[in-house]
């Protein structure tokens, strides 16, 4: 930890005009030598990948499909300098002639959200690099408040939620205020739209995708969690902050943002599922009661193997896409979720709310009422699913198939009017 603090402290420098700025951090991905890969091998891979990213950026037009693959694949986008160029492309945001920001007083005067935003931002000290001078941090906090209030002012249909600032501060630290503002606005009307409704109904609906994913991969863990009645609330802060609130290392946060920005809006819930699946042994060894399981799962480990988990989340998305989960999950009106109604992300899914308890009971009843061989079939199906998963994971290692499929789905759901940017 001390080495990390020292490294972050070195990322502070003075501009000639006296204002303090963060140096652009060269955020190593989770597959850097820090995670066991030899330094020479990593340097070679990094150099080759940077060349491919710059080639995609400099194309006419830029090769956005290739940029998505780079953001998803091992190591992500490597540095914040690259993110400043690629993140706008992933969200199809034009970076020329950025709109001027109104005066802070205009934004804050008679703003219904100002007091809550102010409280949340004041509590966000740990989201800024350790060792940053107070003057610089306070300046960035003021910019953070202005970004949030400006996006809400321009989009009165959006409603502020606690945790939104954890996402915005990540964009601010990577991109700076002007560019962060336009990207956050685009993100808020697309990927984050469901979280910004007047109620949490759509957010709860998205959380309800968690258990069906777990059930398909590890029915034992799924049934244990159902028996404990732990629910999915432990993953709420993961989902609505894109893990920014729960991860201490900024490198891991931006690595996940590379991944999520290049993918379907529901990808964060798939990543939440793979974290639970990664901890299957811990879960099954826990006392089977709500308090114990909730406490275990709500304490997210800081030493997760991020690259394998990212790869696995992509694999699970390919095997169990939202449309499959929605069709198999019981009937609730979820057509209002952004993931199912965005014109920019035309899903082939009814987005029905999963009801895993009812579905499990019906399956058990069907087994009991069916012919003698039915029980054997019901037991064999999860194993067959695991073989499929392993096959897809093998393809991912060999050919990058899952990453390619995830990219293709992202392109299919890209804005119709902007298809020329997605060759």
Q: Give the domain-ending residue among 154, 189, 224.
A: 189
Residue 270 and residue 137 share a domain? no
Instruction: Judge whether residue 295 has pLDDT over 50.
Output: yes
- When pLDDT is averaged across residues 398-402 and rounded to a whole number, the result is 41
- When pLDDT is averaged across residues 65-92 and rounded to a whole number, the result is 95
Residue 374 and residue 238 share a domain? yes
pLDDT of 9 reads 40
Does a structural domain hold residue 133?
Answer: yes
Does a structural domain hold residue 78?
Answer: no
pLDDT of 320 reads 94
Predicted confidence band of residue 384 (pLDDT cuts 50, 70, 90): very low
Residue 254 and residue 156 share a domain? no
Neighbours of 15 (CB within 10 A): 8
Predicted confidence band of residue 96 (pLDDT cuts 50, 70, 90): confident
Residue 156 belongs to domain spanning: 104-189
pLDDT of 370 reads 54
Residue 321 and residue 369 share a domain? yes
Instruction: Judge whether residue 252 has pLDDT over 60.
Output: yes
Residue 286 and residue 332 share a domain? yes
pTM, full prediction: 0.73
The CATH number that applies at residue 155 is 1.10.8.1310
Residues 6+ positions from 177 with CB-CB distance below 8 Å: 101, 143, 146, 147
Residue 167 and residue 203 share a domain? no
Residue 283 and residue 337 share a domain? yes
pLDDT of 74 reads 93
Does a structural domain hold residue 315?
Answer: yes
Residue 182 and residue 207 share a domain? no
Instruction: Judge whether residue 2 has pLDDT over 90.
Output: no
pLDDT of 68 reads 96
- When pLDDT is averaged across residues 8-18 and rounded to a whole number, the result is 38
What tokens does 171 get? 């964009």
For 99-143, write each residue's pLDDT tens digit: 777 766 778 887 899 999 999 999 888 899 888 999 999 999 999
Least confident stretch, 166-180, 248-262, 316-330: 316-330
Instruction: Judge whether residue 277 has pLDDT over 90.
Output: yes
Q: Which one is predicted more confidently, 357 or 260? A: 260
The CATH number that applies at residue 333 is 1.10.472.80
Q: Which one is predicted more confidently, 378 or 366? A: 366
- When pLDDT is averaged across residues 272-285 and rounded to a whole number, the result is 97
Percent of the chain with pLDDT over 90: 57
Does a structural domain hold residue 15?
Answer: no
Residue 250 and residue 169 share a domain? no
Instruction: Report the domain count for the chain.
Output: 2
Predicted confidence band of residue 249 (pLDDT cuts 50, 70, 90): very high
Instruction: Judge whether residue 399 has pLDDT over 50.
Output: no
Instruction: Judge whether residue 405 has pLDDT over 60.
Output: no
Does a structural domain hold residue 96?
Answer: no
Residue 203 and residue 344 share a domain? yes
Helix (H), strand (E), coil (C) string for the chain? CHHHHHHHHCCEEECCCCCEEECCCCCCCCCCHHHCCCHHHHHHHHHHHHHHHHHHHCCCCCCHHHHHHHHHCCCCCCCHHHHHHHHHHHCCCCCCCCCCCCCHHHHHCCCCCHHHHHHHHHCCHHHCCCCCCHHHHHHHHHHHHHHHHHHHHHCCCCCCCCCHHHHHHHHHHHHCHHHHHHHHHHHHCCCCHHHHCCCCHHHHHHHCCHHHHHHHHCHHHHHHHHHHCCCCHHHHHHHHCCCCCCCCCHHHHHHHHHHHHCCCCCHHHHHHHHHHHHCHHHHHHCCCCHHHHHHHHHCCCCCCCHHHHHHHHHHHHHHCCHHHHHHHCCCCCCCCCHHHHCCCCCCCCCCCCCCHHHHHHHHHHHHHHCCCCHHHHHHHHHHHHHHHHHHHHHHHHHHCHHHHHHHHHHHHCCCHHHHHHCC
Predicted confidence band of residue 28 (pLDDT cuts 50, 70, 90): very low
Does a structural domain hold residue 6?
Answer: no
- When pLDDT is averaged across residues 365-378 and rounded to a whole number, the result is 47
Does a structural domain hold residue 41?
Answer: no
- When pLDDT is averaged across residues 230-256 and rounded to a whole number, the result is 95
- When pLDDT is averaged across residues 189-203 and rounded to a whole number, the result is 93
Does a structural domain hold residue 3?
Answer: no
Mean pLDDT score across all residues of the chain: 77
- When pLDDT is averaged across residues 227-234 and rounded to a whole number, the result is 94
Q: Give the domain-ending residue among 128, 159, 189.
A: 189
Q: Give the domain-ending residue among 127, 162, 189.
A: 189
pLDDT of 87 reads 97
Residue 207 and residue 151 share a domain? no
What tokens does 72 get? 């998803």
Residue 138 and residue 216 share a domain? no
């Amino acid at each position: 930890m001390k080495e990390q603090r020292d490294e972050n402290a070195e990322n502070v420098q003075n501009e000639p005009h006296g204002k303090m700025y963060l140096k652009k951090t060269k955020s190593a991905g989770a597959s850097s030598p820090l995670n066991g890969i030899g330094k020479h091998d990593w340097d070679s891979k990094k150099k080759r990948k940077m060349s491919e990213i710059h080639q995609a950026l400099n194309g006419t037009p830029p090769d956005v499909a290739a940029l998505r693959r780079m953001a998803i694949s091992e190591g992500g986008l490597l540095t914040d300098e690259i993110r400043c160029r690629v993140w706008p492309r992933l969200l199809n945001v034009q970076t020329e002639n950025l709109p001027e920001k109104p005066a802070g007083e205009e934004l804050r005067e008679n703003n219904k959200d100002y007091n809550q935003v102010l409280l949340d931002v004041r509590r966000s000290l740990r989201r800024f690099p350790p060792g940053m001078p107070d003057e610089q941090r306070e300046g960035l906090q003021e910019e953070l408040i202005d970004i949030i209030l400006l996006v809400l002012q321009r989009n009165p249909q959006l409603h502020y939620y606690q945790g939104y600032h954890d996402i915005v501060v990540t964009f601010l630290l990577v991109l700076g205020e002007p560019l962060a503002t336009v990207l956050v606005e685009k993100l808020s009307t697309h990927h984050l739209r469901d979280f910004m409704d007047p109620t949490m109904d759509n957010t709860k609906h998205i959380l309800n995708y968690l258990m069906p994913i777990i059930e398909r991969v590890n029915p034992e863990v799924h049934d244990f969690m159902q028996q404990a009645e732990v629910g999915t609330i432990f993953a709420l802060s993961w989902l609505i902050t894109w893990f920014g609130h729960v991860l201490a290392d900024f490198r891991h946060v931006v690595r996940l943002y590379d991944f999520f920005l290049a993918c379907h809006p529901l990808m964060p819930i798939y990543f939440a599922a793979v974290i639970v699946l990664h901890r299957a042994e811990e879960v099954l060894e826990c006392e089977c009661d709500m308090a114990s399981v909730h406490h275990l799962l709500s304490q997210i480990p800081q030493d997760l193997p991020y690259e394998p988990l990212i790869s696995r989340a992509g694999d699970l998305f390919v095997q169990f896409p939202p449309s499959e989960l929605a069709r198999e999950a019981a009937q609730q009106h979820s057509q209002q979720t952004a993931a199912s109604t965005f014109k920019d992300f035309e899903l082939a899914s009814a987005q029905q709310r999963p009801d895993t308890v009812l579905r499990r009971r019906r399956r058990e009843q069907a087994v009991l009422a069916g012919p003698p061989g039915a029980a054997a079939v019901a037991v064999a199906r999860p194993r067959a699913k695991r073989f499929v998963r392993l096959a897809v994971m093998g393809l991912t290692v060999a050919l990058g198939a899952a990453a390619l499929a995830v990219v293709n789905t992202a392109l299919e759901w890209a804005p119709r009017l902007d298809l020329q940017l997605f060759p």
